[in-house]
Structure 1
Amino acid sequence: MTIKKIQLPLQTVSLVLGFMVWVILSSLMPFIKESIKLTPSQLTWVTAIPILFGSVMRVPVGYWTNRYGARKLFAISFILLFAPIYWVSQADSFGDLIMGGFFLGIGGAVFSVGVTSLPKYYPKERHGFVNGIYGIGNLGTALSTFGAPVIANQIGWSKTVLLYSVLLVVMAVLNFFAGDRKEPRVQTALVEQVKSVSGNSKLWLLCLFYFLTFGSFVAFTVYLPNFLVSSFHLSKVDAGMRTGGFIVLATAMRPIGGYLGDKFNPFKILMFVFAGLTVAGILLSFAPTMTWYTVGCLTIAFCAGTGNGTIFKLVPMYFTKQAGIANGIISAMGGLGGFFPPLLLTFLFKLTGHYAIGFMALSQFALASLILIVWMFYQEKLGLSAKIIENTVEGIMVTDTTGKIHSVNAAFTELTGYEAKEVVGMTPSILKSGKQDRGFYDTMWDTIRSQGFWQGEIWNRKKNGDVYLEWLTISAVKNDAGDVVYYSGMFSDITKQRGFI
């Protein structure tokens, strides 16, 4: 196995450990609050602070990964985590937990490392699935939520925290020796990279969507253990197991969401995601029984996990050349999405005595996102149509980058005799006359790749078998990031003009 091939499993396992450390305090909170007296407000801040710092740090971590490589970022992060692990294990006050929890946020910040580094090793068509596999690192939260309470029951929460230091040593060493020392680097200054993406409205829409999907995942992961104990009077281990189930489902759906984003239109997948979150939020707002509460939470896990994987399929579509900083900003917003809901829920509970308004706010937030993703979907389609109309009023055939026909216009049907339903999904070879050899087509595509377009005469064949001469212009259609996403062929029949009839 080459050094490049092991980066996906290595970085995924590294993220698992990062997330395990990130949620130590929330996983063990039912035990910690028995030895350190905390008010409900203090308890919320202790579990939220790691989320805040981990989220904010994702922006520079994404930038540093592009500049120094994943190997150094993971190894250094795990070494730095030794200090807060020891500090938290010795904590005996609210201030100690806040201080230690602040630097535990490094564990969540490492998420930006993989989403920045791994796409460099794979073609764009697999980015959704690859980022989805890396997102399985979310399983680290489940491992802590499942395992930490069980171990703490036996040896106490303080010693349980210290056990994480052993894993940090192992993974720091693995990254140092097995990480890719020759990972491609980007040296552009941070401010310049931020400027290059900040003016793109699509960045902020993706931030909004990830704020909701990943934020829901983090918020429920952090809040459920203590919420289930206090609201439904479950045992600490039972609450941890149920929260772990939520995490496992959300994590399992992440690579599936990435795969679906690769296979189908990612906008349509996100429509389904936000519709599901809207319904789940409404269900939870009615303060249901444990059974219906479970249904609502698992629906959120299913939709949030799917959305998390699909959103990162959209990132390289718009920000291929600025992936590091774009991933950092979007993932930071996702983390912040997990910081604010617990604080809001606590405030609303103190104000009203229940959580209904908070869950209803989730549903309305999801509904707004659903409306926006529908708008983006149709804007994308209109944008393609506008580009074509601007370039020609003649016969049009649009293919994707794999050569399959994406769409044709009415003039195409009139000139060739083929209806759109007969050619969409086929390749342009359906029109070949056989008068041009392989060398002709190779030269044509070399010109398109180097100059962005080709113009010339070409013999093609109509549906009825007639061979005709056409004047053809093929243009590369690029997205906002400057990447070719379609090829547009514009043509007219010039057989009569050339005197062949």
Structure 2
Amino acid sequence: MIKKVQLPLQTANLVVGFMVWVLISSLLPFIREDIAIPAEKLAIVTAVPVVLGSILRIPLGYYANVFGARIIFLASFILLLFPVFYISAASSFADLIIGGTFLGIGGAVFSVGVTSLPKYYPKEKHGLVNGIYGMGNMGTAISTFAAPVIATQVGWSMTVKLYLVLLLLFAALNFILGDRHEVKVKTSIVEQIKGVYKNEKLWFFSLFYFITFGSFVAFTIFLPNFLVTYFELEKVDAGMRTAGFIAVATFLRPVGGWLADKFQPLFLLMGVFAGLTVAAIILAFSPSIGLYTVGSMLIASTAGIGNGVIFKLVPFYFNKQAGIANGIVSMMGGLGGFFPPLLLAIIHSMTGSYSIGFMAFSQVALASLVLVVWLYYMDRLSLQKDVFNSTAQGIIVTDATGYIKAVNPAFTTLTGFTEDEALGKNPNILSSGRQSSDFYKDMWGMIGDDGQWQGELWNKRKNGEEYLELLSIVAVKDDSGDIVRYVGTFNDITPK
């Protein structure tokens, strides 16, 4: 029973964590009425919770494996009580920076669930499960929509205090319903980092999540104030529009995870980055509110799907180091939400326009599209290499003139010649001398006529021992019909 509760419980935990994480940006229009915040420092106030919320994802992902999700969620909600209470009594810009920094704990809990929940489900469901958990992003929408509405009735300070009740409630729920017997993994954090940091896929996934989740977070904290100041919308209207953006991105996240369970995830990422490129170009032209809405919704859709796809890929490639890998990738996503608002604010202060910033984002998305295409083909080459190296048959590849260009490990096992000793040589280094020149003349004549040959012949190992092999030779041709290489595969059939 407890195990079945974990997915809805941890998803609800993430909702609460993200509600607290965006508390300041949701209420900023109200807070500015009481606290003087210079226009050039607005982006800093909304971005500081993202910093700690990103960096803490690595240790929280690791310790979720060591202590279990129950302990980490419980401790996180208790710790969040202090900055939330501090912010409710804030009276200066410095108070908001101090309290906002520690609100980052709310965003850091993301790495807890993506580390814990896959333990309860088979691999073919990890994309969907992590996608459902990722719907906890909806917490940002709830705060962005509900907090301004409540603040108009009771004021922003009392609204912040209401979050204390919510945190206490969920601390109690985790104490009661959290899984006390979750499987623990106690490998040292240094060993786990050593096991992943050399894998280039970790850094590719980090970059991709930096773009997809970063764009989600950046727009979440950027839109409320932007819509009020640039389009002169009412504060509640701006909050509702931002909530709509968040809702679309959040509901499409499990769709992205489900699609990644069914189809090639890298193909899906190609579509994601193509969509982000187009959307950013639309926004770069500073359109009317209608086209701006279209561009924003396209970003919400593609970012949401992309977030789901990436967290199908991470546990697939890093099953044994899930905690640290999830932490690193999700940290990069959080940092992806920190830099864009600052850059947009700097560019706007220098040029009076956001267009250059959005155009730069479109180029980063386009570069990511190219990297996904490259990664897809590298994956295919890696698969071919794995097949080449793991097959039990000896394989020898020559160029059109008959000189060896590649051999596999089984070739060395069967013949005694290492790869270095074979490369650049003619396959006659294996010749036993038993076959006549007419034998080879007939063999190559058949290859020239039919493109292939199969038969038995005696060859000699490096140590001089003769053996009988079953050999197949295939001529590989290019599109114009010219032979570019020969591939031979063989087995030792002497015992037979």
User: Which residue number corresponds to residue 41 of structure 2?
Assistant: 42
Shift of 1:392: 4.4
Q: Aligned partners of 2:105, 2:364: CA distance in 1, in Å?
A: 28
Give the alignment of 1:33-432 within 5 angstroms. Answer: 33-392=32-391
Superposition deviation, residue 208 in structure 1: 0.1
TM-score with structure 1 length normalisation? 0.78
The C-alpha deviation readout for 1:20-68, integer Å capped at 9, x for no partner, is: 0000000001111111111122211111000111001001100111111
Contact 1:30–1:236 (Cα < 8 Å) also in 2? yes
Q: Specify the SS of the correspondent of 1:362.
A: helix
Contact between 1:249 and 1:305, CA under 8 Å: does it hold in 2? yes
Superposed displacement of residue 281, structure 1: 0.6
Q: Structure 1, residues 345-383: CA drift from partner, whole Å, max 9, x if none?
A: 000001110001110111111001100001111111111
Q: By how many angstroms is 1:134 displaced? A: 0.1
Distance 1:340 1:160, change over 3 A: same
Amino acid at match of 1:251: T
Deviation at 1:18, TM superposition (A): 0.2
Larger gyration radius, structure 1 or structure 2: 2
Give the conservation status (yes or no) of the 8 Å contact 1:27–1:149.
yes
SS at match of 1:288: coil
d(CA) in 2 for partners of 1:15 and 1:310? 19
Q: How many residues align?
A: 403
1-structure distance, mates of 2:250, 2:130: 12
Is the CA contact 1:316–1:323 (under 8 Å) kept in the aligned structure 2?
yes
CA distance in 1, matches of 2:384, 2:175: 50
State the TM-score, normalizing by the size of structure 2.
0.79
TM-superposed deviation, 1:189 = 1.3
Helix, strand or coil: the match of 1:4?
Answer: helix
C-alpha distance in structure 1 between counterparts of 2:112 and 2:382, whole Å: 33
Could you tell me how far apart the structure 2 residues matched to 1:284 and 1:330 are? 27
Q: Where in structure 2 are there 5+ consecutive unaligned residues?
A: 396-469, 471-488
CA separation of 1:148 and 1:124: change in aligned 2, threshold 3 A: same
Shift of 1:394: 7.0
Distance 1:394 1:295, change over 3 A: same
Give yes or no for contact 1:206–1:330 (8 Å, CA) kept in 2. Answer: yes
Q: SS of 1:199's equivalent? A: coil
CA shift for structure 1 position 268: 0.5
Give 5+ residue unaligned stretches, structure 1.
Answer: 397-470, 472-489
Query: How many angstroms apart in 2 are the aligned matches of 1:146 and 1:173?
Result: 26
C-alpha distance in structure 1 between counterparts of 2:127 and 2:54, whole Å: 22
Matched residue SS, 1:269: helix
CA distance in 2, matches of 1:274, 1:491: 45
Asked whether the 8 Å contact 1:61–1:112 carries over to 2, the reply is yes
Deviation at 1:390, TM superposition (A): 3.2
- Matched residue of 1:180: which SS? coil
Rate the CA distance shift 1:94–1:321 in 2: closer, same or farther, 3 A.
same
Deviation at 1:384, TM superposition (A): 1.3
Give the C-alpha shift of residue 391 in structure 1. 4.0
Specify the code of the residue in structure 2 equivalent to 1:77.
S
Distance 1:125 1:185 in 2: 22
Question: Within 1, Cα distance between the matches of 2:190 and 2:393?
Answer: 45
How has the CA–CA distance of structure 1 residues 237 and 491 changed in structure 2, closer, same or farther, with 3 Å as cutoff?
A: farther
Cα deviation code 1:87-141 (max 9, x no counterpart): 1010010000001001111100000110010011111111110000000100000
| Partner secondary structure for residue 338 of structure 2 | helix
Q: Is the 8 A contact 1:42 1:94 kept in 2?
A: no
C-alpha distance in structure 2 between counterparts of 1:40 and 1:56, whole Å: 27
Distance 2:92 2:260 in 1: 46
Q: 1:387: how far off?
A: 2.0
AA matched with 1:197 = V
Asked if 2 retains the 8 angstrom alpha-carbon contact of 1:54 and 1:106, the reply is yes
Q: 1:235 to 1:121 in 2, by over 3 A?
A: same
Cα contact 1:59–1:328 (8 A) shared by 2 = yes
User: SS of the counterpart of 2:4?
Assistant: coil
In 2, Cα distance between equivalents of 1:387 and 1:174: 48
1:274-297: CA deviation from partner (whole Å, max 9, x where unpaired): 000000011100111110000000
Hey, what's the Cα distance between the residues in 2 that align with 1:190 and 1:10?
27
Structure 1: how far apart are the matches of 2:388 and 2:84?
60
Q: Which residue identity is paired with 1:295?
A: V
CA RMSD, 1 decimal: 1.8
Note the alpha carbon deviations across 1:234-285, whole angstroms, 9 max, x for none: 0000000000000000000000000000010000010000000000011100
- Separation of aligned partners in 1, 2:150 and 2:313: 40
Instruction: Write the deviation string for residues 278-334 of structure 1: whole angstroms up to 9, x where unpaired.
Output: 000111001111100000000000000000000011112211100000000000000
- Alpha-carbon distance between aligned partners in 2 of 1:75 and 1:272, rounded to the nearest angstrom: 38
Distance 1:278 1:360 in 2: 9
- d(CA) in 1 for partners of 2:172 and 2:390? 56
Structure 1 runs of 4+ with >6 Å offset: 393-396
Mapping of 1:441-480 within 5 angstroms? Answer: none
Q: Which residue matches 2:479?
A: none
Shift of 1:388: 1.9
Partner of residue 458, structure 1: none
* Change in 2 beyond 3 A, CA 1:393/1:66: closer
Alpha-carbon deviations, 1:169-202, whole Å to 9, x = none? 1100000110000111111111221121111111
* 1:395 positional shift: 12
Q: 1:320 to 1:235 in 2, by over 3 A?
A: same
Aligned counterparts of 1:31 and 1:228: Cα–Cα separation in 2: 15
Cα distance between partner residues in 2 of 1:180 and 1:373 = 38
